[in-house]
């Protein structure tokens, strides 16, 4: 499926869940790896705020893209953020959704005027 780039320059993104290894198979505990590089993938939660609306989303990043200095509740940047629609059949039921993936997660600053 096609990936769609997300423009984040007008958004405030706050870290709500610290990065942790993404589990590929919950039954076996297998950790997800990037299909091309084989690198461990990490999952984190953020609240994405733009134009007065907010969404809680889960984002996947490669382990090498997780920066030091991340703080829960603090602003972060998600360079290279893309969304990809997905579909699968699980236990005989059709499922679908949107997956979010970024090249990295780094500390950021609150936008000028935020909270003023």
How far apart are the C-alpha atoms of 6 and 18, rounded to whole Å? 21
Q: What is the pLDDT of residues 17-43, one digit of tens each?
A: 999 999 988 889 899 999 889 999 999
Mean pLDDT of 80-84: 96
- Name the pTM for this structure: 0.86
Is a pLDDT exceeding 70 seen at residue 73? yes
Asked if the structure places residue 114 within a domain, the reply is no
Residue 1 confidence (pLDDT): 59
Q: What is the pLDDT of residues 2-15, one digit of tens each?
A: 889 999 999 999 99
Domain that includes residue 67, residue range: 4-107
What is the number of structural domains in the chain?
1
CATH number at residue 56: 2.40.50
Asked if the structure places residue 112 within a domain, the reply is no
Residue 61 confidence (pLDDT): 97
Sign of the Cα pseudo-torsion (69, 73, 74, 79, in order): positive
Asked if the structure places residue 115 within a domain, the reply is no
């Amino acid at each position: 499926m096609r990936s769609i780039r997300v423009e984040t320059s007008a958004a405030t993104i706050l870290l709500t869940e610290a990065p942790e290894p993404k589990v590929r198979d919950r039954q076996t505990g297998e950790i997800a790896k990037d299909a091309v590089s084989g690198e461990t993938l990490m999952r984190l939660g953020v609240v994405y705020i733009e134009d007065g609306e907010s969404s809680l989303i889960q984002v996947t990043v490669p382990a090498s893209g997780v920066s030091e200095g991340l703080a829960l509740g603090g602003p972060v940047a998600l360079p290279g953020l893309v969304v990809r629609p997905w579909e699968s059949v699980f236990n005989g039921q059709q499922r679908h959704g949107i997956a979010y993936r970024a090249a990295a997660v780094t500390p950021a600053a609150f936008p000028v005027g935020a909270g003023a």
